[in-house]
Structure 1
Amino acid sequence: MYPGKATIYIAFSFFIGIKMNWLIKNLLKFTGSQKFLSAQLDITNACNLNCTHCYQPHGAAEEILSLSDWRRILDQYSELADRLYLKPHFGISGGEPTLSLLFLPILEELSSRWPGVGITVLTNGTSLSAAVVSAMKRYDVITQISVDGPDAVRHDVIRGAGNFERAVKGIQSLNNSGVAVQLQAVLSKNTAAWIPEFFNTAADAGAAAMNFTRFVPQGKGKALQETGEDSALTALELRAAYQEILALSRKTSIPTATNLPLFILLSPELGAHGKAGFQGLIIDCHGNLKVTSRADFKLGNILEQGLENLFLNHPIMKALRAGAIEGCGSCMFYDRCGGDRNASFVSYGSFLKKDPGCWL
C-alpha cells in the first residue's frame, strides 16, 4: 500500500522543518551574542557632493525603488529577523539620503513598524532641512556626519569648497534640536596624521563619537592611489593608527567605533560586529542584497529572489558563515573579527581572501 499525497506532503514538510531548524541553530551559533539584525538601506544613489575618494559614481537620481517596493522588502526583513530571533536595527544611507523624497516616508515607516527602533542616518550634513531635523528628533535618530579633514582647508580639498562650514552648521542644527551626532573620517595615508586633530574637532562640535572607516582604493579612490595622491594604510600602519585612535578615545572620553574588523587583535573586548555574511544586510536603491555597500558585487535582487533565500542560500553567504576564507577562517579571532570583506574584494577580487590590512 502506497502512502497518499497528504501523507507524503506532511512527511516532506516535516523534513523541511527539521532542515530549517538545523540551519537556524547553526546561524545562531555564528551570530553568537548578537542581538540585532542590522540593515543598511541605501535609498538613493544621488548626492550633492563630489568627494575625491568616493567609492560610488554619485550623480543625478536614477530609477530607484518606490516606497511600496521598500515596504515589500521590509516585510521580508521582518520575517527573517523573527526567524533568527534578532531585533531590528537600521542605517539609512545613499548617496545623500536626506535629499531623497523617500527619506521621510521611510523614516516614518520604520518607526511605525518598530516603535523605538534604533536608526542611524549616514549624511554629509550639508543640506539638512528643518523638516528633516525635526523628524530625526521625533524618531530619536542618531546621525553620522562625514568629516574628512579636521578643518575647512583640509576637509574642503576632499569634499568641495564651503562644505566644512555647511557641515558644521548642520551639526549645530542637530545639536540644538537634541539629535545625537557622531562624526566619521576616512582613514588613509594622508588623514592618519590628523587623528589627534579629528578628536579635537569632535570635542569642539560636541559630537557623541569620533569614528573612522578605512580608505580602500575603489571608485574615485582608485585614481588617488594610482596617482600617489593618497593610498590605503599598510597593515602595520593600520595597526598603529587603530592603537592611536583607541588611546585618544580613552584620553578624551570621546567614544569611537571598535566593533569593526581587526580591533579584536588589539584587545579581547573589542570587535564582534564586523562580519559580513551573518551580521548585517546591505540593500541598495534597486533592491539588491550586497555583501558590502562599497563593493559593486550584488548577491541578487530581493524582490525577485527573496531576502531569506539570498541570505541563507547564496554560496558566498554560506562560505562566509562557514569561515571558508583563505587566511581568515582558521584564525582564532575569526568569530569576533571576520576581516574587512570589502578590502579583500578590492585587493583580490574575492570576498573569501584574507583582509590585506591584517597584521597577523
Structure 2
Amino acid sequence: TCISTNGTLFTPELVSRLSRNRLVAIQVSMDGAKRETCDAIRGAGVFDAAIAAVKLLAATKIPTSINTVLTTQNADEIPAMHEMARSLGVSLRVSRFRPSGRGADNWESLRPSPAQLLGFSDWLASSGDVRTGDSFFSLTSQERQGLGLNLCGAAKLTCCVSPTGHMYPCAFLQTDRFEAGDLRRNSFQEIWDGSEIYESFRNLRIHSCEECQRFDQCHGGCPAVAWHLKNDINGGDPECLERCVTSIADNRLAEAA
C-alpha cells in the first residue's frame, strides 16, 4: 500500500499505527522549500504540518519521500527542496503539473515556462537520487536512462481507483471516457486484465513523435496532458522537451527581429 498525503493530520499515534502495517511507501506533498511558497498553493500552515509529518515518518522504517509538483512558482526552489529532503532523512520526488482538476483552472498561471522545464531536466540529469514519474511510478536517473523521463506507466505499472470504486488509467484521466471498470461489479484483477481501456493504453503508440530525435527519451510524453490540451491522447505531449527547445528558439528569433 502506498499513501500520498499532505501530512496535516499526522500524529505520533497515527504514525505508530501506520508503521505496524505493510506499507510500501508514504509521500508527503510540499510545493516549495519556503513556507510562503508552499502555503500560497496548499493553504496556510501546510508547510509546517508537512515538515512535522516528515520528521515523524523519518523516525520509522516506512520509506518516505517529499513530493512536489513543479510549477513556475517553485521551479527555482527545487534544488533547495532536494537539500531539505536530505537533511530530513527522506527522498525527493518531483511531479509534473498537469491541466486536470484544479490544475486546469490554474494552468496558465502556474505552468512552468519552457526554459524552466529544460532547466529542471538538466538539473535532474545530475541528481541521481531524485525521483520522477507518474503517480507512484518513480524512476531514478539510472532507470531514466533506460526508460525515458516521461515514459507513461498508466495501465502498465499503475492505475487509479476513485473513492467510488471506479478505475481509470491514471489520476489525471478520471472521466467517463476513460473509465475502465467498477470495483463494485468486478474484481480488480478482472478489470486490470480485461479492460479495453487499459489494453488501449498498453498498446498506445504516438506515431507523430516517432521521427523526433528525443523520442527514445520520452516516447511521446504524457497522454493525459495531450488529452486535456489537444483532446487527443495520440497527439503527443505539447510540453515535451523538443517543443520547449523550439519554443525558446522561436521566441529568440522573434525578439531579434
Q: TM-score, normalised by structure 2?
A: 0.75
1:301 is displaced (CA, Å) by 1.4
Alignment partner for residue 96 of structure 2, among 200, 214, 217? 214
Stretches of structure 1 that go unaligned for 5 or more consecutive residues are 1-118
Paired residue secondary structure (1:333)? helix
CA shift in 2, pair 1:266/1:131, >3 Å = closer
Q: Does 1:352 align with 2:234?
A: yes
CA shift in 2, pair 1:124/1:275, >3 Å = same
Number of aligned positions between the proteins: 232
Identity of matched residues, %? 22
2:130 corresponds in structure 1 to: 256
1:191 is displaced (CA, Å) by 1.7
Alignment partner for residue 321 of structure 1, among 177, 192, 202? 202
How many Å separate the matches in 2 of 1:315 and 1:269?
Answer: 25
Paired residue secondary structure (2:241)? coil
**Once superposed, what is the RMSD of the aligned Cα atoms?**
3.2
Paired residue secondary structure (1:143)? strand
CA shift in 2, pair 1:340/1:285, >3 Å = same
Q: Does 1:301 align with 2:182?
A: yes
What does 1:218-233 align with in structure 2 at a 5 Å threshold?
Answer: 218-226=100-108, 228=109, 230-233=110-113
1:303 is displaced (CA, Å) by 2.6
How many Å separate the matches in 1 of 2:158 and 2:52?
Answer: 32
1:196-230 Cα deviation digits (max 9, x unpaired): 111122123221x111001112222222234x3x2
1:291 corresponds in structure 2 to: 169
Q: Does 1:275 align with 2:153?
A: yes
2:251 corresponds in structure 1 to: none
CA shift in 2, pair 1:164/1:237, >3 Å = closer
1:144 is displaced (CA, Å) by 0.6
Alignment partner for residue 41 of structure 2, among 158, 167, 170? 158
How many Å separate the matches in 2 of 1:265 and 1:175?
Answer: 25
1:353 is displaced (CA, Å) by 2.6
1:265 is displaced (CA, Å) by 11
1:339 is displaced (CA, Å) by 2.6
2:79 corresponds in structure 1 to: 196
Q: Which moved more, 1:121-130 or 1:297-306?
A: 297-306
Q: TM-score, normalised by structure 1?
A: 0.56
Matched to 1:224, the amino acid is N
Paired residue secondary structure (2:78)? helix
How many Å separate the matches in 1 of 2:144 and 2:59?
Answer: 37
Matched to 1:181, the amino acid is T
Q: Which one has a bigger Cα radius of gyration? A: 1
CA shift in 2, pair 1:269/1:224, >3 Å = closer
Matched to 1:256, the amino acid is V
How many Å separate the matches in 1 of 2:59 and 2:155?
Answer: 38
1:120 corresponds in structure 2 to: 2
Contact 1:174 1:181 in 2 (8 A): yes
CA shift in 2, pair 1:258/1:130, >3 Å = closer
Alignment partner for residue 122 of structure 2, among 240, 243, 247? 243
